[in-house]
Amino acid sequence: MSLSRRNFVIATSVAAAGSTLLSACSSGDAGGGSGSGSGGGAKTYSKVTIGTKEDSTGPAPEVPGAKKGGTIYGIAPDDFSHLDPGRIYYAYNSTAALLLHRCLTGYKIASDGSQKLVGDLATDTGTMSNGGKTWTFTLKEGLKWEDGSELTVEDVRHGIERLWAPYIIESASYVQIALTGKGGKWRDAYEGPYKGKHLSEIVTDKAKRTITFNLAEARPDFNWTMAMHSYAAVSPKLDTKEKYDKHPAACGPYKVKSHVTDKSMTLVRNKYWDPATDSIRNAYPDGFEFDFGIETLDGVDRLIASQGKDAYAVSIYKGVPAERIQKVLTDPEIKKRTFNGLLTGTYYYAINTKRVTDLKVRQALNHAWPLQQIRQIYGGPSSGDIATTILSPDILGREKFDVYGKLKKPQGDPAAAKKLLKEAGKEGMKIVYAFPQDPTYNKTKVVIENALKEAGFTPIIKPVDSTTYYDQVQKVDNSYDVMWFGWSPDWPTAYTMIQPLFDSANIGDGLYNVSQTNIPWIDSTIQKNMVITDQKKAGSAWAALDKRIMEEVAPIIPEMYQRRYYVYGNKVGGAMFDPNFSATLLYKTYVKA
């Protein structure tokens, strides 16, 4: 099966309690975590389950104590880069998409952070047949656009077909590949809908409100894919093509009133949104006003002070920086106005298996790595949990294991590393370590260098300019042995983590198998696991592969399941962590009396 080399996007936010954001992508990644050692008695988030038709029926459960009215203010350093759902493949943009757009499926989030995949526009999570090659969804009744026109299955189809338009280059491509079976050449199969032609693989019945996808490749988790905002509905009549990105038509609870790029955006109620059709979203405020260009530290200081409009404000996606984390956690009054959660995905160090060819050396690196010292620089236990697996805690079927004893000796085990190096005849081996140049990583490089020396390696430290870092480490012929990296799944199944990172098809310039792992049994197991229709069995199979890769290949050094803390104004209610996009879950907020 040929898979696109463009359809996976790395999600890497710098640690240190959210001090700097280098890059953060991948919409549709879901979850939370249940890792150990979290600070401050913080809640973690449970794995996602598949909901029933009843679970998919609106309205959404009420938030205790909530009331309608008022305005919630959001502050952030950056504007949303895209509002056109077809161009949303970045978690931050999805925080706005949740208010404006709707997909066939979505995530219903309880007050404790637990989640269910449910029907959003659809009555349920779809019906699979033909071994995972055919999926049928039925739309709910009463769905409308912001102008009062009916939302139909043709709108869902159009939202997908327009992804072939040449001006849309940012979307996910899972569905396009599954429909065409052409891998990275999926664009060759169709010219898009603007000349009046439809994809024959998508069959709609407006009278029955059904849409059927006849896939070229089996996708047992296709219903998860359809929760990605790239695949939200778009009305052909309201589609303004390139202009749609600035002012899209809404079918969610809010619509865009005004948007001044890089400065501000105002959302007001969409009067045609019917809560009876929506089991996911609450919509308590009359509107949202977003202020952009507010640096993280300044924004957090404003939220701590909670004066004027800031009393009704939240940080959209920037957590409390390292400079303020102790103030926030030690002041009881401020701490009452916080929430936190584990970020989706796993942060790790990729070992270049093309250069570091001896398994024992890669195992020695795992033993040597000073995870405790690194986490201390990031902010201690409050910054997250030490990672020991490829799969993050939110992934379905993920099983906790600790092959290299990192939870017992998180500071590193130089004796175990030296023993393996001696057995391999590689004592004193040079290791070139690359990392993005940043004040935080300039500190972690020191403890990494010292740990490598103590373990019997000869470290060579290579800081790389942060703006070109990924371009450099994602080159096949790079000169690095170990590289800081990270990955977040597009939905909470292991396929979206293991395939992009360890399938040999993803070795290449600009691709994500940075460790250049090229193992036939890994490739064949990925192909086998991805078509298992029973999700429980699939989860067990992926967990087994996770452990086998770490034991028999050791292509990475897991680092952290990062945690992010947020603070909000004292007149904001209902603020909680969005376990899908690691941001404030805006549609549950309300204005306190």
For each of the domains in the chain, give its residue range(s) and CATH number, in order of start. 55-286+576-591 (3.40.190.10), 346-563 (3.10.105.10)
pLDDT digits (tens, 9 = 90+) for 387-408: 999 999 888 889 999 999 999 9
Residue 215 to residue 220: CA distance in whole angstroms? 11
Q: Where are the beta strands (DSSP E) in 279-387?
A: 287-292, 313-315, 338-342, 346-351, 384-386
Whether 476 contacts 509, CB under 8 Å: yes
Output the six-digit token pair for 379.
């902010």
Whether 115 contacts 108, CB under 8 Å: yes
Residue 44 to residue 32: CA distance in whole angstroms? 6
In this prediction, residue 68 has a pLDDT band, given cuts at 50, 70 and 90, of very high
Stretch (H or E) spanning 361: helix 359-368
Residue carrying structure tokens 């664009």? 187
3 state DSSP class of 100? helix
Task: Please give the average per-residue pLDDT across 201-205, as a whole number.
Answer: 98
> Nearest to residue 325, comparing CAs of 19, 12, 74?
19
Task: Please give the average per-residue pLDDT across 586-591, as a whole number.
Answer: 98
3 state DSSP class of 105? strand
Output the six-digit token pair for 488.
């977040």
Would you list the DSSP string of 402-431? -TT-TTT-TT--HHHHHHHHHHHT-TT-EE
Which residues pair with residue 561 across a beta bridge? 385
Residue 449 to residue 56: CA distance in whole angstroms? 52
Q: Distance of CA 390 to CAs 141, 189, 348, Å?
A: 42, 35, 8
Asked, as a colleague might, if the bond just before 59 is cis with ω within 30 of 0, I would say yes
| Helices 520-529/495-502 angle, 10° precision | 150
323 versus 273: the higher-pLDDT residue is: 273
Output the six-digit token pair for 434.
């690359």
CA 160 to the chain's CA centroid: 21
Q: How many residues does the chain have?
A: 593
CB atoms within 10 A of CB 536: 10
- How confident is the prediction for the chain on average, in pLDDT? 90
Edge-first strand listing for the sheet containing 254-260: 254-260, 264-269, 287-292, 71-76, 313-315
Give the side-chain half-sphere CA count within 13 A for 133: 9
Task: Please give the average per-residue pLDDT across 111-115, as a whole number.
Answer: 90
pTM for this model (two decimals) = 0.84
Whether 15 contacts 315, CB under 8 Å: no
Residue 165 to residue 7: CA distance in whole angstroms? 16
pLDDT digits (tens, 9 = 90+) for 159-201: 999 999 999 998 988 899 999 998 878 999 999 999 999 999 9
3 state DSSP class of 258? strand
What CA dihedral angle connects 128, 130, 134 and 136, to 10 degrees? -40
In this prediction, residue 21 has a pLDDT band, given cuts at 50, 70 and 90, of very low
pLDDT digits (tens, 9 = 90+) for 22-55: 223 333 333 333 332 222 223 334 478 899 999 9
- What pLDDT score was predicted for residue 72? 98
pLDDT digits (tens, 9 = 90+) for 492-508: 889 999 999 999 988 99
Cβ-proximal residues to 111 (8 Å cutoff; 6+ apart), any chain: 63, 64, 576
Residue 558 to residue 328: CA distance in whole angstroms? 28
| Helices 359-368/439-454 angle, 10° precision | 120
pLDDT digits (tens, 9 = 90+) for 309-350: 999 999 999 999 888 999 999 999 999 999 999 888 999 999
**Greatest extent of the chain over all pairs of C-alpha atoms, in Å:** 73
Residue 158 to residue 105: CA distance in whole angstroms? 16
